[in-house]
């Protein structure tokens, strides 16, 4: 098995590592993570049981697969620091919005095997959605290895690189909008008298079940919506209110705004 190194270990890397360990696709000793803050890295080492270091070069030297999991604006600096230790055998995985494979190649200054991905934080519970694309330097077998690792914490779809910003809008960032939706539904349930904790369970389970219906039945979401709306019933009254306040347009604009921001970052 390959050793995998995470350069930067914040929210996203922790969620991915947590997901991989939970599914048992990698052993703790097959993972190393690096970051600049000693106390934070020690805490991650204790919590996850993986090797940690404050030395990015050390993490890269020990790893075949290197996941660059820093903020987009840190990529150039981190690549500059690592480029002398990277060989043409290493697989570089990126997870950042707005960082194209062309930029990564240019910053390394040599031919590099690159897989560009856009995961999301539900990786922590094994339910991430990941968009993935790769450059020409990498073989199909190597893509398969990384894809299988990522599939341990969710679903993976390969897309053209030009669609990666659309992936940012629809799945990379969308857990935030879904949490807002759940919070708002639960607040209304609290208005109606359901205790706060139960309100989150009702709202979140309704979202989870509805998402499963879309994925598992393959039915059109509009058809599933129609099936809930009985004539002169309660649901169609709610749908009418949502349409009045521009719910669908608002969601479309939100997804589009995140995608456009991703394009701006490129």
Ligand X SMILES: NC(=O)c1ccc[n+]([C@@H]2O[C@H](COP(=O)([O-])OP(=O)(O)OC[C@H]3O[C@@H](n4cnc5c(N)ncnc54)[C@H](OP(=O)(O)O)[C@@H]3O)[C@@H](O)[C@H]2O)c1
- Please give the C-alpha separations between residue 116 and each of 170, 175, 220, 248, 256, in angstroms, as whole numbers: 17, 20, 30, 30, 21
Buried b (16+ CB within 10 A) or exposed e, 162-175: eebbbbbbbbbbbe
Q: Which stretch binds ligand X (CB under 6 A): 3-11, 134-142, 230-238, 253-261?
A: 3-11
Q: Which residue is nearest to ligand X (CB)?
A: 10
Q: How far is the CB of 213 from ligand X (least distance, A)?
A: 25
Residue 59 interacts with ligand X (CB under 6 A)? no
How far, in Å, CA of 252 to CA of 246, rounded?
10
Q: Token pair of 79, please?
A: 């690549």
Q: Are 88 and 135 in contact (CB under 8 A)?
A: no
> Toward ligand X, which CB reaches closer, 7 or 189?
7
For the CB of residue 184, give the shortest distance to ligand X in the complex, in Å.
Answer: 20
73 binds ligand X (CB under 6 A): no
| 119 near ligand X, judged by CB under 6 A | yes
Q: Please identify which residue in 21, 96, 146, 182 interacts with ligand X, judged by CB under 6 A.
A: 96
**194 phi, psi to nearest 5 deg:** -80, 135
The separation between CA 112 and the C-alpha centre of its own chain, rounded to angstroms, equals 23
Please give the DSSP secondary-structure letter assigned to residue 117.
Answer: E
3-state helix, strand, coil in the chain (%, to 5): 60, 15, 25
Q: How many CB atoms lie within 10 A of CB 258?
A: 20
The answer to whether 7 contacts ligand X (rule: CB under 6 A) is: yes
Say whether residue 101 binds ligand X (CB under 6 A).
no
Residue 259 contacts ligand X per CB under 6 A: no
CB atoms within 10 A of CB 34: 27
CB of 40 to ligand X, least distance (A): 5
Confirm or reject binding of residue 256 to ligand X (CB under 6 A): no
Looking at the Cβ atoms of 17 and 95, the one nearer to ligand X is: 95
Interacting positions 22-41 with ligand X (CB under 6 A): 34-37, 40
Q: How far apart are CA 104 and CA 187, in angstroms?
A: 44
Please choose, out of 66-74, 179-187, 192-200, 239-247, the segment that lies near ligand X by the rule CB under 6 A: 66-74
Nearest alpha-carbon partner for 8 in 41, 34, 39: 34
Query: If binding is defined by CB under 6 A, does position 82 make contact with ligand X?
Result: no
Structure tokens at 74: 């840190």
| 86: contact with ligand X by CB under 6 A | no
Q: Is residue 5 part of the contact set for ligand X (CB under 6 A)?
A: no
Interface with ligand X, residue 71, by CB under 6 A? yes
- Which is nearer to ligand X, 119 or 154 (by Cβ)? 119
Residue ranges that bind ligand X, judged by CB under 6 A = 7-13, 34-37, 40, 56, 69-72, 74, 78, 95-97, 118-121, 172
């Amino acid at each position: 098995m390959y050793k995998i190194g995470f350069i930067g270990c914040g929210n996203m890397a922790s969620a991915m590592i947590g997901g991989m360990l939970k599914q048992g696709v990698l052993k703790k000793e097959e993972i190393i993570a690096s970051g600049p803050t000693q106390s934070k890295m020690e805490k991650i080492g204790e919590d996850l049981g993986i090797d940690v270091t404050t030395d990015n070069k050390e993490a890269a030297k020990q790893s075949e697969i290197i996941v660059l999991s820093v903020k987009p604006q840190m990529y150039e600096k981190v690549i500059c620091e690592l480029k002398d230790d990277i060989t043409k055998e290493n697989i570089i995985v990126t997870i950042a919005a707005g960082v194209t494979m062309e930029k990564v190649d240019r910053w390394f200054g040599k031919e590099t095997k690159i897989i560009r991905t856009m995961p999301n934080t539900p990786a922590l519970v094994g339910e991430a959605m990941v968009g993935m694309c790769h450059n020409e330097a990498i073989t199909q077998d190597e893509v398969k290895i990384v894809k299988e690792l990522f599939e341990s914490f969710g679903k993976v779809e390969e897309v053209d690189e030009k669609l990666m910003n659309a992936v940012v809008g629809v799945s990379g960032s969308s857990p935030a909008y879904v949490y807002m939706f759940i919070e708002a539904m639960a607040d209304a349930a609290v208005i109606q008298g359901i205790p706060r904790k139960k309100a989150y369970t009702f709202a979140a389970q309704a979202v989870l079940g509805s998402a499963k219906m879309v994925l598992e039945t393959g039915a059109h979401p509009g058809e599933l919506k129609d099936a809930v709306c009985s004539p002169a019933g309660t649901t169609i009254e709610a749908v009418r209110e949502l349409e009045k306040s521009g719910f669908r347009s608002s969601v479309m604009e939100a997804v589009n705004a995140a995608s456009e921001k991703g394009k701006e970052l490129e």
